[in-house]
Structure 1
Amino acid sequence: MKKVSLFLLGLALSFVVQGGSAFAETPLSQTVNELVGTPYKWGGTTKTGFDCSGFLKFVYNKFGVALTRTSKEQAQQGEWVSQDDLRPGDLVFFHTFGTGISHAGVYVGNGAFAHAADDGVKIDKLSMSYYAKRYVTARRVLSDDAYAQAMRDKGN
């Protein structure tokens, strides 16, 4: 029993230590987290309501990046990046209506992306069946300097 208790204590401590470093608050994560739950609004570009491209335009404006207005146009900005090489801050694009790009989000790490969906701004996994089947491409729009600013640990 003592060995099991020590094992469980060690396991719990390892999660606490890892949690502190794995979930550091960054300007990007803070910006996204503050917007989670914002309602969906067709054509919305403010905290009163966003559509997917308006959400991205708002987020990237915080980091000095001027995005175009529609997800189809946004998919032409920056540099193409492989899904296997995504880093937080990359744009991800989907075809949700017929063919062509019609939805977008921002990759936030660990296989997840933030986006303005019909039920508001939220975070989903790229591996979810719905999105995995509809993934089209990704673009990197943050310069190395802007990326460093977006990913700076707010605790330091």
Structure 2
Amino acid sequence: MASLYSDPQWSTNMDKAVSKLSGPVVELEQVLAWLAEKSKEENFSLTDIWGVLTSAGIMKQMDPQHLSEEASRNATNPYPIYCALEKHYFSNGPLEGKWFEVSPHEAGFTELNLFVETSLLGSKFQNGVLVEKKPEMDIVRLQGLSII
């Protein structure tokens, strides 16, 4: 979806979207440069590696933009709302999960009615108060967290 929504007029440019997915792969140097940059950050993890492998390997693009940049875009198409399911497994019971939604404006759990501005996703909060603002996650990292 992130690949599709990277073009504000995707519904009129489907050939461009298809050619991106069937086009050449991302150069290894670009992947390694992104990983080297992110490895300097405090929260670098396997999630970042999964995100870059997803972006470069499956989607064949490295999208360093931020989802919040989509909030002010004037586009023909509906605006993106991505969803993921946070799953919890219990040894003596069924699977339980909560929907997590991310849009250009906010991200959070609908069931709990807990949302933050998308640009603050990954920042530290305590009792609903911003304690430490972290840099906004780019699309590559968000893809590692949930295939968007």
The TM-score, its normalising length taken from structure 1, stands at 0.22
Choose 1 or 2 for highest CA Rg: 1
The TM-score, its normalising length taken from structure 2, stands at 0.23
